[in-house]
Structure 1
Amino acid sequence: MSKTIQEQIAEMEARCTQLEELQKLFEKAVKNEFGIDAKKIHKLLENANDISTDFGKKIATHFGLKSNEDFTDFLTVFCTESSLDYFIKKRAEKDEM
């Protein structure tokens, strides 16, 4: 026997209410565990991604990197002891000014 439209609506409303209660429980669990609400966690993650994406785009544009292989090659050249030493030296010179 098929359910009537009214019965289907009632079941959907009950399910919606149940999902809303589960969402509230989830929000409470997140707040208890991390001390902030889920929306703030989402914003933190979005901002972190924006920063790294923006940085990556600037590096790619400046050095003309177009593919993952280009990035890998760049890191191989850039992330060396001599590059680090050069950076530390330049930073120290800047701080002395």
Structure 2
Amino acid sequence: MIMILLLLLLLLLLLLLLQLLLLLLLLLQLLLLLLLLLLLLLLLLLLLLLLLLLLRLLLLLLLLLLLLLLLLLLLLLLLLLLLLRRILLLLTILLLNTGDYYCYCYY
């Protein structure tokens, strides 16, 4: 009996850890979205500078390409985090599935 209670407590601790990890992933995604917004603003500013300073066209184009590459990398990281979040949500649902037919899904 005590062993079953200990196993249930361990399962609850594992679920709590998964939920905390999901919360951290959500916060990281929000931070990445803010960073993406800042990058987009910087790109718009660089486009404006590109229009104003035609003499330094090559340098600004290089910087613009680097920023676009960074933006693509951040978007890829965001997609990977979304995939990891989805996997952790599915793992949480599988751990919460006790055989009764209630839905514990928190979408």
TM-score category, normalised to shorter length: 0.3 to 0.5
* TM-score, normalisation: structure 1: 0.35
If asked which structure has higher relative contact order (CA below 8 Å, sep 6+), I would say: 2
* TM-score, normalisation: structure 2: 0.32
Larger gyration radius, structure 1 or structure 2: 1
